[in-house]
Structure 1
Amino acid sequence: METVDLVVPVKSLTAAKSRLRGAADHGVGDPKAHARLALALVLDTVTAALAARRVRRLLVITSDPTVSLEVAAVGVPVAPDTPGGGLNPALERGAHLLRQNDPCAAVGALQADLPALRPAELDAAIERAAAIFAAGPAPRAYCADAAGEGTTLLLCAPGSALQPCFGTDSAAHHERSGAYPLQGDWPGLRRDVDTGEDLRRAADLGVGPRTREVLAPCPHP
């Protein structure tokens, strides 16, 4: 497994990251400011993933027209989400679409709220997963978030099903489903952003340029 193809699911900007509302405008909670922040998180995440040597292709799953236009502008194809379908079915569909032209591809799911992600971290996690797949312990592997409860990255070997179990306590669900936990010092890969405190910690690590620009007037979210 030299490279992987990744699905990145993105909610509508108006519905995404409700606990971050106000983080971009000193607590005012303006919907436009919130949408700019949510979009910046996505764009910094996909830009970092595009720069990873081990990532062959990205596919964003979304029904938000603004997200579709913006990610297409940086070279990422988009497939529409199915309204009411839910996150895990969307990821399964994305994995299926990625494998249409290459049924033997290794595929994975990457969360869209990793503004401090470094390409080298993603490469290292994929390399670790490739070693696990080659050794045989499991055909699936996941990276837990900084709290150890959620999942930021899920990968599966060629010929294996992705079997996403995202949602509350997804790390535990993925492990119970047979996925192997990836261990490594990858702070940006583990720092997903759901709250203002998460955003502050991501900023301490160093966020991407789009998130940095949105936060420029508000140095302490």
Structure 2
Amino acid sequence: MEKLLDVGFIVKSFPVIAAQLPVTLAIAIGSMALGLLIGLLTALIKIYKIPVLKQISACYVSFVRGTPLLVQIYLVFYGIPKLIYFCQTEYGWLQGLDVNVIAPEFYALLSFSVNLGAYLSETIRSAIESVDRGQFEAAKAIGMSPASMMMKIILPQAWVVAIPNLGNVLISTIKDTSLVFIIGVIDVMGQAKILGSRGLAFFEVYIAVSLIYWIVCILIEALLVRVEKRARRYEGSAAS
């Protein structure tokens, strides 16, 4: 009689799948860091209404938010090699670069960074605009440069406001990395699919991978709560 659930297979597959967790976390955290940089630049372009760049950034955000992440991964995966080949053949640029040796993790990191940059730009912009305008005026009154004002006065306060949304984005990104197997990246989801196809036990491996994602997200949530409490404690100390 066929068993409904092979618990032993779940137990055996769990550490094998979890071994690919560093790949998942590297893509998620790396793209989050690059996405924050892209998002910050995009947000500042919108806030300061820089001509031309403002229109370009608005188009970029609209495109990313209006297309599926899966499509964006494919665009990067197939588009970057074509662009490199075009530059090599038409202009003689990048001649030493062989697109065949570029790891699929690079495409995954780039596509996620571009995607996150658009979404984080709105989070960062709203956080910056939530800072009391009096802070801007006070910084200008004492002769601070715009860059110094932003780094020393505005961004530290905006960071506290943005932490919950940034945490939600990070958790969503960790789960969204399950898509990278479509371009050949062996992350936890990719490893689960490989094990499932070998043992014809897809139900069991998906239970195992769901538990891994769940545990990771619980740990990330706990860490973010501590970070937010610490940030708000320093905020309270500064205010007093």
The one of the two structures with greater contact order (alpha-carbon pairs below 8 A, sep at least 6) is 2
Higher Rg of the two aligned structures: 2
Q: Same fold (TM over 0.5)?
A: no
- The two structures have a TM-score, normalised by structure 2, of 0.27
If each structure's strand is expressed as a fraction of its own residues, which one has the higher value?
A: 1
